[in-house]
Amino acid sequence: MSNRKIIDVISGAHIAPPPIWVMRQAGRYLPEYRELRKSAKSFLDFCYTPDMAVEATLQPIRRYNFDAAILFSDILVMPDALGRDVHFVTGEGPRMTPLGEGDVDALTPNNVLSHLSPVFEAVKRLRSDLPDETALFGFCGAPWTVATYMIAGRGTSDQAPSRLFMYQKPDELAKLLDIIADASAEYLIGQLDAGADAVKIFDSWSGVLDEFAFEANCVQPVKRIVEKVRSARLNAKIIAFPKGAGHFYRGYKEKTGVDMVALDWSVPLEFAAELQKEGPVQGNLDPQRVVAGQAAIKEGVDRIMDVLGNGPLVFNLGHGITPDATPENMDFLVRYVRGEI
Ligand SMILES: Cc1c2[nH]c(c1CCC(=O)O)Cc1[nH]c(c(CCC(=O)O)c1C)Cc1[nH]c(c(CCC(=O)O)c1C)Cc1[nH]c(c(C)c1CCC(=O)O)C2
């Protein structure tokens, strides 16, 4: 047993009430985040300034004493470190020049660790600033999800440009996924060495692929990262979030080798209970319930706890909290899950 509950659950323990943290727990629903954000030149500057990244990470811990803090950063620091021109347009999202002819070969994987050294500095400071019982998570994007932004140059609703790229340039895609996977493994090892207790791989766009493409573009690259990280750091705790994987959640833990799988809110609870027999699960409240208010939160939490509460569970939302959720509703969620109200 460790003194960090979430780490015990990731190792397979059942803890009641379940430990809780929330995807995007540092973010625009918090007034103190919006205030801090104003002082940053750009979103990437925010991520690369350890003082700011540390402060943003700690804000939700001060308010809600979550059982885990997640490093404040973004999955798109990876294409930035690989030499693409990443920027964030306020109110719209990330932008970069779509990959063109020869661009994959021109990526700069050897620069990644030095480019991302401010992130390691933030992790180091966080581990010493956080309460001892609060776990610290590092993270990266999964290769497929990161690749979708690099190929399209922006977020799209169905990743049609990346699916087309996959059929037209399969070798180019395979090369790209390998480059991102290897750089991401190094990046996660760096975060673990700086003090992260566990790392999470976000595959937010795994739900747009057929069974063959899911296996090749989501399962295999995540497995590659897990193997590389574990060959360097045997006991690394690794979580993955293959959002929208649906049926493909079955067996995902075993195939990739991760310790815990995060579930989106579309996963039926009875199916989630079967997945929980494969190992610990995290999830999966619809974030809109935290916008809607107390009745919606109670109903959703009760349903999850009825079905998943007797096994290894980390309570979380099924995706990130949205900016229109209120800090008061978040407070209610945390206290309700902890049985304080
Ligand atoms: C796909 C993805 C991205 N980033 C991330 C993912 C995977 C998880 C998911 O699916 O949500 C991951 C991410 N992004 C952010 C974190 C920080 C840690 C935390 O969860 O609190 C994490 C873990 C901060 C952020 N990343 C971003 C913000 C908002 C930007 C701002 O504050 O100006 C935050 C707090 C920007 C971002 N970053 C990304 C997009 C599409 C956007 C724009 C959409 C939006 O604005 O919500 C890419």
Is the shortest distance between the CB of 23 and ligand 1 below 6 Å? yes
- Let me know if 28 is a catalytic residue: yes
All structural domains of the chain, each given as residue ranges with its CATH number in brackets, are 5-337 (3.20.20.210)
Interval 247-270 mean pLDDT: 98
pLDDT band at 133 (very low <50, low <70, confident <90, very high): very high
**The 3-state secondary structure of 227-283, one letter per residue:** HHHHHHCCCCCEEEEECCCHHHHCCHHHHHCCCEEECCCCCCHHHHHHHHHHCCEEE
Is the confidence at residue 176, as pLDDT, over 80? yes
The whole-number pLDDT of residue 310 equals 98
Q: What is the pLDDT of residues 55-65, one digit of tens each?
A: 999 999 999 99
Q: Atom 28 (ligand 1): residue with closest C-alpha? A: 27
pLDDT at residue 213 tops 80: yes
315 lines ligand 1 (CB under 6 A): no
**Average per-residue pLDDT for the chain:** 98
325 C-alpha to ligand 1 centroid (Å): 15
pLDDT given for residue 163 in this prediction: 98
Query: Which one from 4, 8, 24, 224 is the annotated catalytic residue?
Result: 24
Q: Is the CB of 122 under 6 A from ligand 1?
A: no
Q: What is the complex's ipTM, to 2 decimals?
A: 0.93
pLDDT on residue 2: 82
Q: At what angle do helices 50-64 and 31-38 cross, to 10 degrees?
A: 170
Task: Compute how many other C-beta atoms are within 10 angstroms of the C-beta atom of residue 274.
Answer: 11
| pLDDT of res. 70 | 98
Residue of 39, 63, 66, 75 best suited for mutating to test ligand 1, as the one with most atoms within 8 Å of CB:
75
* Annotation says 24 is catalytic: yes
Label residue 262 by pLDDT band (50, 70, 90): very high
Tell me the pLDDT tens digit for each residue of 298-324: 999 999 999 999 999 999 999 999 999
Does residue 1 register a pLDDT over 80?
no
